[in-house]
Amino acid sequence: MDANALKNILKFLSIIAIVLSLFLGFASLIGVIYHESITSYLLFNLLFLVFNLLLYFLLRNHPSKMSIKEGIFSVNLSWILFGVVGGMGLYLTSNITFAQAFFEAISGFTTTGATIYSDIESLTHTTLILRSLYHWLGGMGIIVLGVGLLTFINPTGSLTLFKAESTGVSVEKLTPKIKDTAMGLWKIYMFLTFLDFILLYLGGMSAFDAINHAFSTISTGGFSTKNNSMGYWEQNYYILWITTIFMFLSGVNFIAHLRALSGDFKGYRSEEVTWYLVIFLLLSFGLSAVHIFIGKDTLWHSLTHSFFTISSIITTTGFASTDYGEWSRVAIAFIFIPMFIGANAGSTAGGVKVIRYVVLFKSLSTQFKQILHPNALVGVYIDGQKILTKVLVSVSGFFFIYMFTTLVLSFYLFAKGYDYLTSLSASIAIVGNIGPGFGDVGPADNFSIFSDFDKVLLSFFMIIGRLEFYTFIVLFSREFWKRF
């Protein structure tokens, strides 16, 4: 790595850091409003801002021309930076070790929502808003925001950065310039957050709870301000349904929302969104049935909690309205399915994502067709577009590496002495950025049981899942570090 590359990366990081610290200033504001002692946090934030302003000032005349490698490297570094800086924020405002803070921050930025705090309600407002803010910044991607804001990054650079952080099988653009699309996505994101906030507030949440939950819902994160998560509002069906709907909406490809904004609703009729809706409805009604027949609950109660739970899991949010781990084994099996599916590509959700399943199943069926008609010309078509072989290979590769990573992590946890249900569900929940799993990490428990080392390890698995494997794992390929 030569001086030029180093300068490119530092300049980029300094700007991302400046944007980050400005947002974190918002959390300080909450601290000031609630008269909390946040002097050390304020000082840290200020120092961090000044340091980065200085760094940017020194590099202001350096022409940024990022190569693909530098782009990928920068994105990974930014995510580690989020963990460290975000961790510092939590470390300075609450009583935890730095490893715990790092885990919590990464869990926030990756919108996983797994927490190490046992008593959330005892936390200061500053800590709570920080956690939600991490979700919100990480959900749409602070780098995507960066791509939108930073006009100086050369076109290839911004494409690489955008691709590295956004999720899905291909980059979809509605405008010639990626930065305009990026800004459009952020606008939709802000709009949904605001709408959710208003509706939650009207439903009886305090303004502070409403803003936290809006951040956490739209980013499909899952941090709550209550020990019982959304279970605190167990009796307020309005809030549960509003959250269910907004979680579902946040799991839809944001490009479809963006198109809808200009009056084009075709985005919602794409195969991916259709399948997402079908799977969501099937699983929700299925779980309701389990609930009614095995749990002997009333119809409305079962429907509310089942829709909420499936919406929360399929969008990898991880809110819990009740301890669904206790519903029955059939229910657990039912909830495992959406954990493996995930929502739409281009949304804020994690997981494998519906589009990949659509591609894989369609490619399977074309293979059947090929076996029966060896001379037929077959291809995989989605929404009338032919899927390129390159994409098929990348989707299969993704599926493989997803399952492989999850398995490896669950074997590791199993070897560490956790039971099989905890090991498997925790690794799915971590890699898929869901949050709670079953067993010791169920909706009523938290991740404080793991050792500090394991917490840091799990944090990296969260980043791997958030960046959809390739961006992170490519760092470990020999090709990446080769000079020639």
Partner 1 sequence: MEIIIAGAGSVGFNLAKTLSVKHNIVLIDKNKETLNRIAESLDVMTIYGHVENPELYQNLLDQRYDILIAVTDSDEANLFATLMADDILEVEKKIIRLHNTYFSNSSISKKLGIDEIIFPYITTAQSIKLLLDFPKANNVKEFRFIPHKLISIYVNQSTVSSVGDITSEQQVVVGIEREKNFFIPNDNELLEEGDLLYLFGTDENIYSLSQELNQNSPQKISKIAIFGADKLGIEIAKVFLETKADVKIIEKDTTLCKKAIEILKNQATVIHSRYIADTIYNEENIKNADLIISTSRSDEENIIRCLEAKEYNIPKTIAINNDTNFYDLMHKLGIITIRGPKTMTYYKMLESISSNDIIRERHYYGARGSIFMRKITFVSQKETAPIEEQESRLFLVRERSIVPFYKPMLLEIGDIIILFTPTNGAEKVKNWMQML
Closest CA to 221 of 142, 310, 352, 107: 107
- In the bound state with partner 1, the residue whose beta carbon lies nearer, of 369 and 386, is 386
Q: Give the DSSP letter string of 114-130.
A: ----S-GGGS-HHHHHH
CB of 155 to partner 1, least distance (A): 3
- In the bound state with partner 1, the residue whose beta carbon lies nearer, of 155 and 204, is 155
CB count within 10 Å of CB 255 equals 23
Helix (H) or strand (E) holding 324: none
- In the bound state with partner 1, the residue whose beta carbon lies nearer, of 159 and 240, is 159
- In the bound state with partner 1, the residue whose beta carbon lies nearer, of 152 and 340, is 152
In eight-state DSSP terms, residue 267 is G
Determine contact, residues 135/40, Cβ cutoff 8 Å: no
The residue to which tokens 């959710």 are assigned: 196
CB of 367 to partner 1, least distance (A): 23
- In the bound state with partner 1, the residue whose beta carbon lies nearer, of 262 and 375, is 262
**How far apart, in whole angstroms, are the C-alpha atoms of residue 190 and residue 184?**
10
351 φ/ψ sector (left φ>0, alpha ψ -120 to 50, else beta): left
Q: What residues contact 420, with CB distance under 8 A and at least 6 apart?
A: 414
Instruction: Please tell me whether residue 222 adopts helix, strand or coil conformation.
Output: coil
Determine contact, residues 247/315, Cβ cutoff 8 Å: yes
CB of 72 to partner 1, least distance (A): 14
- In the bound state with partner 1, the residue whose beta carbon lies nearer, of 175 and 367, is 175
Footprint on this chain of partner 1 (rule: CB under 8 A): 154-156, 158-159, 171, 173, 175-178, 180, 262, 386, 388
**How far apart, in whole angstroms, are the C-alpha atoms of residue 301 and residue 313?**
18
Which token pair is 164? 């590295």
- In the bound state with partner 1, the residue whose beta carbon lies nearer, of 67 and 236, is 67
CB of 302 to partner 1, least distance (A): 45
- In the bound state with partner 1, the residue whose beta carbon lies nearer, of 173 and 301, is 173
Q: How far separated are the first and last CA of the chain, in Å rounded?
A: 12
Helix (H) or strand (E) holding 260: helix 254-261
CB of 369 to partner 1, least distance (A): 22
